[in-house]
Amino acid sequence: MTAIDDLVQGPGERHMVYGGTRTGKSSGMDWNMRHIQRTRPKCDQLVADTKPRFRAETVAYGPGNRLRKSTLKAGTYDSWASGPVLPNSVLVPWQSNHPLRGMWNHEKRPGEIAIMQGETAREWVLMLHLMHHFVNRRLKDQERLVVVDEGLDFYQRNTLGIDSKNDVILRTARAGGERNIGLLFGAHRPHGVPPLLNLLSSRITLFHLRFERDMAYLHDIGVPEEEESPVGDYVFKQFKVAPGGTIDGPVTARFKYPDSYLKQLAAT
């Protein structure tokens, strides 16, 4: 039986996750983050959530964003449909002059995940600037992880970034591994993602794709030509890039979630 330990990326890895609507892509990313939170609680995780989809448990406020209050009491998600709360997570406060200041304190709040949320193009550009600040900090041996759920929101049809001067996602994939900075990048399809970003990946997790030509795109970057898009609820295939550059796998598996989690998922 495949264990989640074998499926979650290690420090500094570039993990691409693809899957159409309702295939389980975001839930799979959710449980990847939870596993890292539990097993590597000193990892700084920063989530760019443009849908938005992930519910934070608390929101930061006060001097240096040091304080926390419940999003339930604050009514942050009163207008949302049902959805699971990411445990031990904090919403990044846009209104702060320094939104990421004081955001991670693993002595007081080990494993806490910071979530940036916004639905407008202006907010998405701001997310890129905060990601730039996050990865540019010179922190020796500090593991960090950039998580992007709806990755195509940050790229135009020509695969160029929405902020041409700051493609921090691609830069993280290119140089983050040497600085212990990983990337967990999700999208509905690989088409539209910069080809170099796919080529720099060290792990690809594939849920069902609705467009057949997307598989041809993945074949072009090394996924074996005989591989087809997986079919079934929460069924996925995972490929790893071997040290020599060839793509190993796949491991074919299905996420089995607790009933308590499934009951929280939105119906659409």
pLDDT by position in tens, the chain (length 268): 678 889 999 999 999 999 998 888 999 999 999 999 999 999 999 999 998 899 999 999 999 999 999 999 888 898 887 778 999 999 999 888 899 998 999 899 999 999 999 999 999 999 999 999 999 988 888 999 999 999 999 999 888 999 988 899 999 999 888 889 999 999 999 999 999 999 999 999 999 998 888 999 899 888 988 999 998 888 999 999 988 788 888 999 998 888 888 888 876 5
Q: Which residues contact 32 (CB under 8 A, 6 or more apart)?
A: 7, 8, 9, 15, 184
Show the domains of the chain with their CATH numbers: 4-262 (3.40.50.300)
Whether cis (ω within 30° of 0) applies to the bond prior to 250 is yes
Output the pLDDT for position 1.
64
> Tell me, what's the pLDDT at 28?
93
Give every CB contact of residue 211 below 8 A, 6+ residues apart in sequence.
189, 191
Question: What's the confidence (pLDDT) of residue 268?
Answer: 59
Question: Hey, which bits of the chain come out as E strands?
Answer: 14-18, 44-49, 55-61, 67-70, 85-91, 113-117, 144-148, 181-187, 203-206, 235-241, 247-254
Cross-strand partners of 179? none
Q: Are 255 and 24 in contact (CB under 8 A)?
A: yes
Question: Is the CA virtual torsion 58, 131, 151, 234 positive or negative?
Answer: negative
pTM: 0.95
Which H, E and C letters describe 216-235, residue by residue? Answer: HHHHHCCCCCCCCCCCCCCE
Q: Does residue 91 contact residue 65 with C-beta atoms inside 8 Å?
A: no
**What is the structure's pLDDT at 234?**
86
In whole angstroms, give the CA distance from residue 194 to residue 85. Answer: 31
Measured CA to CA, the distance from residue 214 to residue 225 in angstroms comes to 12
Q: Are 18 and 190 in contact (CB under 8 A)?
A: yes
Cβ–Cβ < 8 Å for 239, 253: no
* Burial state string for 72-93 with b = 16 or more CB within 10 A and e = fewer than 16: eeeebbeeeeeebebebbbbbb
Render pLDDT for 107-128 as a digit per residue (tens, 0 to 9).
999 999 999 999 999 999 999 9
Residue 65: closest CA among 105, 34, 110: 105
Buried-exposed string 140-163: b where 16+ CB fall within 10 A, e elsewhere: eeebbbbbbbbbbbbbeeeeebeb
Per-residue confidence (pLDDT) for residue 243, from 0 to 100: 81
